[in-house]
């Protein structure tokens, strides 16, 4: 498989973790999201993903998949072991809720394109953009902190899709210096996950395109 990725992309980080958890080998194709206004805007990448975002997974038989959660659900369905979703429908709904809280409600507000839009089209100062970023992470993390049940992972004793989303979002928060002292459960989940090789190998600093 081939993964279009960028070391700092938290959505690509999710897919890297899922591939590692399931022991699926893949080749990284780096797409720099910042240099020259973003190599993701180049026609050759647009031809791969019309949305011009990473991650993109190209399967062994050449199918092109986009959207991290859809990609991870595909991996879960095609290679169920070890599972990233629990067995019972109720438990699955709870895991997916945490994943979506991050992927649908926090991450889109703090992504490269919207932040760039605030700066260029809305003429916002960097300090206002940083305040925006912190606000949405903190509001999301307050809910997450109340919802997770560390045991030691976000939803108990097994790694799930929730952890796959928590760890990259915490990495982003750390990079943008969001204070995390009010979120001991979230930090505990991060620490438990990062002790696992599948998460460690997926970290931004361990990618071939790391800067």
Ligand X SMILES: N[C@@H](CCC(=O)N[C@@H](CS)C(=O)NCC(=O)O)C(=O)O
Cα separation, 178 vs 134, whole angstroms: 6
- Spatial CA neighbour of 54 closest among 88, 75, 30, 73: 30
Can residue 158 be called a binding residue for ligand X (CB under 6 A)? Answer: no
- Spatial CA neighbour of 162 closest among 78, 74, 86: 86
Can residue 54 be called a binding residue for ligand X (CB under 6 A)? Answer: yes
Residues 95-154 that bind ligand X (CB under 6 A): 103, 111-113
Q: Give how many residues touch ligand X by CB under 6 A.
A: 16
Task: Provide the minimum distance between the beta carbon of 181 and ligand X in the complex, in angstroms, as a whole number.
Answer: 25
Kindly tell me which residue out of 11, 48, 84, 95 binds ligand X, with binding defined by CB under 6 A: 11
Binding region for ligand X (CB under 6 A) out of 51-59, 119-127, 143-151, 156-164:
51-59
DSSP 35: G
Can residue 9 be called a binding residue for ligand X (CB under 6 A)? Answer: yes
Q: Give 77-82 contacts, CB < 8 A, sequence gap 24+.
A: 79/22, 79/24, 81/22, 82/21, 82/22, 82/159
CB-nearer residue toward ligand X: 13 or 199: 13
Binding region for ligand X (CB under 6 A) out of 7-15, 76-84, 179-187, 188-196:
7-15
Binding region for ligand X (CB under 6 A) out of 22-30, 63-71, 75-83, 144-152:
63-71
Can residue 10 be called a binding residue for ligand X (CB under 6 A)? Answer: yes
CB-nearer residue toward ligand X: 75 or 192: 75
- Spatial CA neighbour of 178 closest among 122, 133, 126, 113: 133
CB-nearer residue toward ligand X: 161 or 192: 161
Are 41 and 52 in contact by the 8 Å Cβ rule? The answer is yes
- Spatial CA neighbour of 11 closest among 202, 189, 203, 165: 165
Task: Provide the minimum distance between the beta carbon of 184 and ligand X in the complex, in angstroms, as a whole number.
Answer: 26
Can residue 169 be called a binding residue for ligand X (CB under 6 A)? Answer: no
Torsion angle (degrees, nearest 10) of CA 203, 94, 63, 113: -60
Q: Which residues bind ligand X (CB under 6 A)?
A: 9-11, 33, 38, 40, 53-55, 67-69, 103, 111-113
């Amino acid at each position: 498989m081939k993964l279009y990725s960028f070391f700092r992309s938290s959505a690509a980080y999710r897919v890297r973790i899922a591939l590692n958890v399931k022991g699926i080998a893949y080749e990284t194709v780096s797409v720099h999201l910042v240099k020259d206004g973003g190599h993701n805007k180049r026609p050759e990448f647009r031809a791969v993903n019309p949305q011009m975002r990473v991650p993109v997974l190209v399967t062994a038989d050449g199918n092109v998949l986009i959207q991290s959660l859809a990609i991870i659900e595909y991996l879960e369905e095609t290679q169920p072991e070890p599972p990233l979703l629990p067995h019972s429908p109720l438990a699955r709904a709870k895991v997916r809720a945490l994943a979506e809280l991050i992927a649908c409600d926090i991450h889109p507000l703090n992504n490269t394109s919207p932040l760039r839009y605030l700066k260029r089209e809305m003429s916002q100062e960097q300090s206002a953009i940083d305040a925006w970023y912190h606000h949405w992470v903190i509001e999301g993390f307050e809910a997450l902190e109340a919802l997770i049940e560390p045991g030691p992972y976000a939803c108990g004793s097994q790694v799930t899709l929730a952890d796959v989303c928590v760890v990259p979002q915490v990495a982003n928060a750390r990079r943008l210096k969001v204070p995390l002292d009010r979120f001991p459960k979230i930090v505990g989940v991060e620490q438990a996950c990062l002790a696992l090789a599948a998460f460690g190998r997926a970290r931004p600093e361990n990618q071939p395109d790391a800067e």
